[in-house]
Amino acid sequence: MNAPRIAVITGANRGLGLATAHALARRGFAVVLTYRGEADDAFRAVKEIRAAGGDAITARLDLADTASFADFTVSLRRDINERWGRSDIDVLVNNAGIGLFGRLEDATVDEFDALMGTNVRGTFFLIQALAPHIGDGGRIINVSTSLTRHVSLGTSLYTASKAAVEAITRTLAVELGPRGIRINSIAPGPTATDFNGGAMRDDPDLRSSLADQTALGRVGQADEIADAIAALASSELRWMTAERVEVSGGTLL
């Protein structure tokens, strides 16, 4: 039996990360779902993926704890070798991150450090740790936001962190290109997930307001973003790298 293609998705126990794990599993990838806190949702997702005919395992990862990345890499390689007979991966989806929002006068140094430490430093150094173990021709997809194109009040620090991720994506495309590794960022628009406390998912007034700002007249769903991530992970887009792909339903055109 041939060893499967392997994808690692950070923050995959819920929301967009979970939807991405299911989307890649449906396309034949064996998936590693990382989680930071309680493991129950991640374990439940593994059972669902296996019940649907796919395969998955979990791994704990705190993106803010860069000192743990060396041990994480060792245990990840050990676990995928035990499960699938491989010690490298094909796809890394950097989905995990945090969102802290507020106007200029309310921003704090601690919020700044938390956003940059998780969304930027954590993403960069996880790529650094795993890049030697991504097979030649592999793919990296970094999750950004449509807010790097349009403006919304109270989002300056969050947007800055994601703009930095997009800049990292473009630069690393040059560094990783000689190995055939494609790296792109995907920028979701307003999407009904549990991000930011599930505000967009649970608040019908907010959803309606944002829907009016999109060309398609509604907010997105997690599986729609996940399908776009799966497309970037596919061989069909093999000539695409260093790009920012917005999936926002035409928000604020």
Which tens digits make up the pLDDT trace of 118-140? Answer: 999 999 999 999 999 999 999 99
In angstroms, the CA 177 to CA 179 distance is: 5
Domains and CATH numbers, the chain: 6-247 (3.40.50.720)
Q: How confident is the model at residue 115 (pLDDT cuts 50, 70, 90)?
A: very high
In angstroms, the CA 150 to CA 121 distance is: 24
Report CA-CA distances (Å) from 84 to 24, 52, 77, 106, 164: 16, 18, 10, 49, 34
For residue 9, report the phi and psi dihedrals to the nearest 5 degrees: -120, 120
* SS3 state at 144: coil
Largest Cα separation within the chain, whole Å, is 59
Spatial contact of 62 and 38, defined as CB atoms under 8 Å apart:
no
Residue-wise DSSP of 6-42: EEEETTTTSHHHHHHHHHHHHTT-EEEEEESS-SHHH
Mean pLDDT of 50-56: 98
**Catalytically active residues, by annotation:** 158
